[in-house]
Copies of this chain bind each other. A is one copy, B any other.
């Protein structure tokens, strides 16, 4: 059982590298954990053959899973591409759909790819000094479109939870790929409107 502090506390976030001076949990997601997430499966297999690279890391301050608490931390997406698709997080809905999230970009360049269960979508730019509000109902994935780490501070309500299943099944409606040396938003061929799941054999 994790010991959580009942008293106020501070920690600092390094402005070079993003590793905070205090955290409860350090999550690293390697390329092998992103199976099926990148459109170009051949490029994925070829890159994995070169080693199981770390794609992103999260340093989390845990808090009790109740509405008045605010779990928070730092996420770091490393730069790189699988084929022409940029390194990104798995992305998720909150299990309690009616919960928001606030991001503050500390370093790097990227976008947040978002969508609702009804299929609305939004892609918002991230650069240092930028605050992003992800309203309740919006699934979110961060994508590093630059050459250095994309480092963000995040805060979400304690009762949010995480739902990765919907995104793991078919990804987000939009992909972010490099096109003529620039990020471009393209349709995800695997995505289907709500209720129209892919055939099992896909």
Stretch at the interface among A25-33, A128-136, A177-185, A194-202: A128-136
Nearest CB in chain B to that of A134: its residue: B8
Nearest CB in chain B to that of A11: its residue: B131
Is A176 positioned at the interface, with any CB of B under 8 Å from its CB?
no
Is A7 positioned at the interface, with any CB of B under 8 Å from its CB?
yes
Q: List 8 A-B contacts (CB under 8 A).
A: A8-B112, A8-B134, A10-B124, A12-B131, A61-B133, A68-B136, A68-B157, A70-B101
Is A52 positioned at the interface, with any CB of B under 8 Å from its CB?
no
Query: Which of A6, A10, A101, A131 gathers most chain B CB within 10 Å?
Result: A131
Tell me the number of copies of this protein. 2
A98 surroundings in chain B (CB, below 8 A): 66, 68
Q: When each residue 36-71 of chain A gets 1 if its CB lies under 8 Å from chain B and 0 otherwise, what string results?
A: 000000000000000000000000010100111110
Q: Contacts A9-B124, A124-B9, A157-B157 hold; do A72 and B131 have CB atoms under 8 A apart?
A: yes
Q: Is the CB of B13 within 8 A of A131?
A: yes
